[in-house]
Structure 1
Amino acid sequence: MTTAFNTSKPPFNLLSPAELGVLQNNLDIAYFQAGEVIIKAGEPPEGLHILLKGRVAEEDEQDVARPEELRHTYVHYTEEDYFGAWSSMRGRAIHNFVAVEETICHILPTRILLDLVDSNPVFGDYFRNSFAGRFQLRSNGNTSQDMTEFMLARVDDSCMREPLILLEGTCIQDAFALMRERKVDCLLVRRGGRYGMVTGTDMLTALLQQGLSAATDVADIASYRLIQVGHDEYLFNALVLMTEHRIERVVVKDDQELKGILELTDVLSYFSNHSHVLGLRIDRAQTVEDLEEVATGLNDLVQGLNVHGVKVQFAMELIATMNEKVMAKLFNLLVPEDIQPHVCLIVMGSEGRREQILKTDQDNAVLMRNGLSWPEKQSVLEAFSRILARFGYPPCPGGIMVSNPEWVLSLEQWTQNLRHWSQQASGDNLLRLAIAVDAHAVAGNAALFKAARNWFFRELSSNQIFFSHFARAALNFSTPLTFFGGIKNKEHGLDIKKGGIFPIVHGIRTLALEHKVLETNTFKRIEQLINSQQLPEKLGLDLVHALGLFIQLRLQQQLERMKSEGASDKDANMLVVERLDRLDRDLLREALHVVKEFKQFLIQRYRLEG
């Protein structure tokens, strides 16, 4: 049975081949009857126990003599779980480990375990690490080597090009000749203290379509609104930026110093990913049918990202960009061009936070310029919602979408609603306000949305009572932990949205609103709150890891159910704990304790006692 021992999962995959040989050569096998105490509290354990078959309960020291239904069980261990590591390293156990049924275990003697911990610091850190450290080990273990290299790759000299830089006063003819000589298709021109970009296409357009002379100053046809990334920025973020802005190159700067140009072709050659191809197909869609073909394929992109182990924050950023491009393109196809400068499409809720990976209920609204006359708006916006549903974005059960006239409002009406919801923030008003606070613009005139958002920040600037009332919603759902710190798991699963995701999202939402953080993404809000010293750094980083874990575990089980049950998933937020491996169960329990700690922070911060 020794050969059946699985060494491909943490922490055993952290051992070298030689260390694995030592482990395999020293494993014993032991059999325990139901009810037998495997490790007794107060005594040194024989070693690290790895379950091959059966079930083991970790129980309070006083419970051995009690009936099973009266015992306090901290954790249940099943196949491939391990226990006794901490006890072996401490020299004695603090709990009893009891066989619930006939059980067979591998046992790695304490002496060998301690030798491996001493010889392999990474292996030892697994048992000693903080929640954040163990979460990082999980992330590294779930990511393929190729994907790891790409996700961690940064913008540096190896992937960017040295720019051709010309001074103001160079004519188009000379600039074109220099581009051909250098074999590049773009250049930067310096005018005063600013840089502008000119491509070969820009030159042809100037000469052939605009009728300009070849003697024209190349600085006169340059674009000075350059999109830039920082030197040492993640390469993946540069790809998302290019996808978002529909561009093929960005300028690389280190502080204010120009370092080079990053080309889309170079990024894609580093990592072959069809996400940008999807983005281009969205941009080129001329009809609703063209767009539908692309939109219905986004779940395949999600599957691919998950299979390759892409970190959840990267996946959310990329999928959110794709979803927003689909919605913006559909909006532009349906809404007349002369109306678009006077309206703004906003997405709210998880889409507004850019935290939804699989398609979810439509949560959107339209803001309009005060006094706008648009007789066809109802028919156009009903078509928008109907077509989105056809694309796989389900209608909102609560009607929070543009087909509902209640969510198609003038700027004045929108600000009146925000005031009403904040002054009477309970029930539906609280829900609507929470959704609206996470909104951001995706199509039309974004200035309308920004005006409303800035007005609301000013409206709440001195209303501390509101923030205390608003924060209380984060405590609405109990944290699913037992009295003794184990996971409280109901028969049909654990609602991870109520128990884990919502308290973090809403608590951070409250802090962000109070401190006028413009970001809507929870991870980015946390980063800004840490930087402004409104959130302790350790707690903030633990919240990032906890939220990432909750979303990742939920996504994995959603994708599994989609394969076996089809696209419908009525229990999207239910996490079946029994399906998780030991590491994920341990991390889930620790993450829920982080939620509990965060709730205490909110209670003290907003005086929510009682």
Structure 2
Amino acid sequence: MPYIDFHQPPFDVLSIAERQSLKKHTQVRYLAAPSTLPDSDYDSFFLVLKGRIQQQLGDDVISTYLGANHLSAGDTHDWFDARRRPEPSSDTHAQPAPAYTYHASEDTLLLQVTGSAIDRLVAQNHLVRTMLSDNLSERLYALQQRRSPRSQASDKGQQEVQHILLQPITAIPLLPVQQLPATASLAEGAQVMIEAGLKHVLIQPPQSHSKTNSASELGILTDTDICRAVSEHADMRTTACCAYASFDLRTLTTEHDVGDALLAMTRYRVHRLPVIDAKGHVTGILGQSQLLAHISHHSQLISVQITQAHDIDSLGVAVDAIGRYIRMQQQQGVKVAIISRMVQTLNAHVFTKLWQLTVPDALFRRSCLIVMGSEGRGEQIMRTDQDNALILEDGYTYPNIEQYCARFNQALSTLGYPLCDGNIMMQNPLWRQSISDFKKQISAWFAGRDAMSGIYLSALLDAEYVCGAEHLLTELRAHLIHAHRQADPMFVRQFARAALQFGEINQWWQRFAPLLGKTHASDIDLKKAGIFPLVHGIRTLALEHDIVATPSTKDRLKALVQQGVLTAERAETLGKVLEFFMAQRLAVALSTQDRHAREVNPNTLSALERDVLKECLAVVKRFKTELRQRYQLEVI
């Protein structure tokens, strides 16, 4: 009876009964080089025990599957399903694609499993079904959910954390709503808080006679506001609540989940969030203590550390805590998209605090600090090179501003955010200008033909607000649309070309496959092979359709779906593939302490990870082909 290693995927999740059944439908096959798998065997599933199999589509090598003699990782084989068919062309007039063929490039031993046996497994075992699915999204899910050798506790922790973050906020007991008119006195407000056992009360807007609790106009008065009024010697009986209440509240809807609430509290540094229903009425107040009690999460504690920092050293303690937070989240299996969003929020808090510690209040209020690149997109997790800029109000100058900006960049470097090799930082006068000068510069970049113009525009398209006068960034984004509409129609075509700059799109596998047989190869550049082509290609599509309000690739994909540029299914696939590359890059960074963390050795990956990596690279290849055809670019 053929030997099957049930400790290796995809069969390490089978029950005893499923294992016994599978054994009855397997046999060992020998395929001599350079022969081809016979047509009669294309209804089977194969594991490569020894040797090398090349999967081809016509003359193009699509993938290579290796046996144990080529692998040094924990897995002992690759697998392939000979029944799998090529993805159909989106062109309805195109000829049907030829089927895959499988060739032994060296003498090969295969374990052949009948297709009917695999079908029975797939029907009764959800994990096998997802690992062997034709759908890439399901295989990515399988990779995330797979039981790894780390520990059963880690797997359980992953499920618990994911479950908590994705729960609706209505799963947390909300605080009751207490409301007073704007003219009520501070004494009345304090009395309501005491009687209700609360530390806040909602305040109706001035000159409002409405009895509704619409959140669009309401304010909030807290016990902190009462203390501030007392310290300022306000008359508690005659001073109206509206004089100390905060309006323009940050709110959540009942559709938001716990993760959204955590992000909102951390990003906006608030302790209470009114929760509104579909009609815009407040149904309750989500308090910070209730949220923390529910999730036992420590990102809020890091936020408190940042807020209380009084110098660079104390701020550095909080920055170090962010690094530990990233590692803990990754070890618990939290999705990389959730980690990156929270890290972006915490980093923005760090930058804001450092800017406050560095510059006078007048400069803080009349300028806008922005970050760009992966930090601006919310897709950077580990601390890499700085990308920041400062937009100033027109006509505003401040003595020695260049020194403040240089001090800020150097302080960030001290905290572990390295200086940008390309000098895209506010200490560079190019990235420290008035809003009018920035507009002129943007128009010049759109008219430019040099590579740097495209690089600089890419940076600004990824800009995200950090602190200061936010309206300046809003104004800059509006000018990006205006300048693009005034530019040469061929600009986007040239802008798109950068997505194809790293190698020929039809040659990625030929360079990838030979690496699998080497023990020290580390030549798969995750950024060049996967992340950059996706990010820049999607950025180009967004620019073409004037989508500049958000720098996030995820949000750009949503907007492209809304405008009918991409199908929802296609956008979902591209987003998940990008997330896969980011997760692999994070794993490399945490295991090697390499802040760039671009390269991965395929030989160190599990069989399932290699299978998914191949398919993700194939998705990038197809996407680059689509870009080339859309913008009529030659293969470069």
Where do residues 461-476 of structure 1 align in structure 2 (5 Å cutoff)?
A: 461-463=485-487, 464-476=489-501
Which AA in structure 2 matches 1:556? A
Where do residues 90-489 of structure 1 align in structure 2 (5 Å cutoff)?
A: 95-96=101-102, 98=104, 100=106, 110-120=115-125, 123-141=128-146, 144-168=158-182, 170-191=184-205, 192=208, 194-214=217-237, 216-255=239-278, 256-463=280-487, 464-478=489-503, 482=507, 487=512
In structure 2, the partner of 1:586 is: 611
In structure 1, the partner of 2:7 is: 6
**1:45 shift after superposition:** 7.3
**1:95 shift after superposition:** 4.0
**1:87 shift after superposition:** 4.0
Do the aligned partners of 1:31 and 1:102 also contact (CA within 8 Å) in 2? no
- Whether 1:551 aligns to 2:540 is no
2:314, 2:571 → 1: CA distance? 43
Compared CA separation, residues 31 and 366, structure 1 to 2 (3 A): same
Compared CA separation, residues 354 and 512, structure 1 to 2 (3 A): same
Q: Normalized against structure 2, the TM-score is what?
A: 0.83
CA RMSD in angstroms comes to 3.4
Q: Secondary structure at the match of 2:343?
A: helix
Where do residues 15-54 of structure 1 align in structure 2 (5 Å cutoff)?
A: 19-24=15-20, 26-27=22-23, 35=32, 40-44=37-41, 48-50=45-47, 54=50
In structure 1, the partner of 2:536 is: 506
- Whether 1:83 aligns to 2:113 is no
1:585, 1:147 → 2: CA distance? 27
Do the aligned partners of 1:44 and 1:87 also contact (CA within 8 Å) in 2? no
1:396, 1:382 → 2: CA distance? 12
**1:110 shift after superposition:** 4.9
Do the aligned partners of 1:501 and 1:550 also contact (CA within 8 Å) in 2? yes
2:633, 2:617 → 1: CA distance? 20
**1:350 shift after superposition:** 1.3
Which AA in structure 1 matches 2:479? W
Q: Secondary structure at the match of 2:633?
A: coil
**1:595 shift after superposition:** 2.1
Q: Normalized against structure 1, the TM-score is what?
A: 0.86
Do the aligned partners of 2:34 and 2:106 also contact (CA within 8 Å) in 1? no
Compared CA separation, residues 531 and 11, structure 1 to 2 (3 A): farther
What do residues 57-104 of structure 1 show as CA deviations (whole Å, max 9, x unaligned)?
A: 2456999xxxxxxx96831234344535454999xx96447595786x
1:472, 1:46 → 2: CA distance? 41
2:221, 2:56 → 1: CA distance? 72
Compared CA separation, residues 24 and 200, structure 1 to 2 (3 A): farther
Do the aligned partners of 1:47 and 1:88 also contact (CA within 8 Å) in 2? no
Compared CA separation, residues 361 and 127, structure 1 to 2 (3 A): same
In structure 2, the partner of 1:576 is: 601
**1:452 shift after superposition:** 2.5
Compared CA separation, residues 558 and 33, structure 1 to 2 (3 A): farther
Do the aligned partners of 2:547 and 2:559 also contact (CA within 8 Å) in 1? no
What do residues 551-607 of structure 1 show as CA deviations (whole Å, max 9, x unaligned)?
A: 111111221112xxxxx456x222222222222222222222322332343334434
- Whether 1:496 aligns to 2:526 is yes
In structure 2, the partner of 1:519 is: 550
- Whether 1:539 aligns to 2:570 is yes
What do residues 206-241 of structure 1 show as CA deviations (whole Å, max 9, x unaligned)?
A: 345342223554455332211011212121121011
Compared CA separation, residues 477 and 227, structure 1 to 2 (3 A): same
1:524, 1:145 → 2: CA distance? 26
1:607, 1:85 → 2: CA distance? 35
1:376, 1:340 → 2: CA distance? 14
Which AA in structure 2 matches 1:292? G
Greater CA drift, 192-201 or 39-48? 39-48
What do residues 425-466 of structure 1 show as CA deviations (whole Å, max 9, x unaligned)?
A: 422222122112211231332333332232232122243222
**1:243 shift after superposition:** 0.5
Compared CA separation, residues 595 and 190, structure 1 to 2 (3 A): same
**1:153 shift after superposition:** 1.6
Do the aligned partners of 1:315 and 1:357 also contact (CA within 8 Å) in 2? yes
Compared CA separation, residues 606 and 282, structure 1 to 2 (3 A): same
What do residues 109-148 of structure 1 show as CA deviations (whole Å, max 9, x unaligned)?
A: 6554332223346643543341122223323337622122
Q: Secondary structure at the match of 1:273?
A: coil
Compared CA separation, residues 175 and 370, structure 1 to 2 (3 A): closer
1:228, 1:495 → 2: CA distance? 42
Q: Which runs of 5+ in 1 are unaligned?
A: 64-70, 563-567
Compared CA separation, residues 124 and 298, structure 1 to 2 (3 A): closer
Greater CA drift, 358-367 or 211-220? 211-220
2:509, 2:429 → 1: CA distance? 50
What do residues 153-208 of structure 1 show as CA deviations (whole Å, max 9, x unaligned)?
A: 22225443332234555444444333333322222233435322122222333345
Q: Secondary structure at the match of 1:6?
A: coil
1:342, 1:36 → 2: CA distance? 72
Do the aligned partners of 1:34 and 1:99 also contact (CA within 8 Å) in 2? no
Percentage of identical aligned residues: 26
2:512, 2:162 → 1: CA distance? 31
2:125, 2:116 → 1: CA distance? 14
**1:481 shift after superposition:** 5.5
Which AA in structure 2 matches 1:43? S
Which AA in structure 1 matches 2:389? A
**1:47 shift after superposition:** 6.0
> How many pairs are equivalent?
588
Compared CA separation, residues 587 and 89, structure 1 to 2 (3 A): closer
Do the aligned partners of 2:221 and 2:245 also contact (CA within 8 Å) in 1? yes
**1:342 shift after superposition:** 2.7
Q: Secondary structure at the match of 1:345?
A: strand
2:162, 2:11 → 1: CA distance? 18
Do the aligned partners of 1:480 and 1:592 also contact (CA within 8 Å) in 2? no
Do the aligned partners of 1:481 and 1:592 also contact (CA within 8 Å) in 2? no
Do the aligned partners of 2:371 and 2:464 also contact (CA within 8 Å) in 1? yes
1:579, 1:358 → 2: CA distance? 21
Do the aligned partners of 2:391 and 2:434 also contact (CA within 8 Å) in 1? yes
Do the aligned partners of 1:317 and 1:354 also contact (CA within 8 Å) in 2? yes
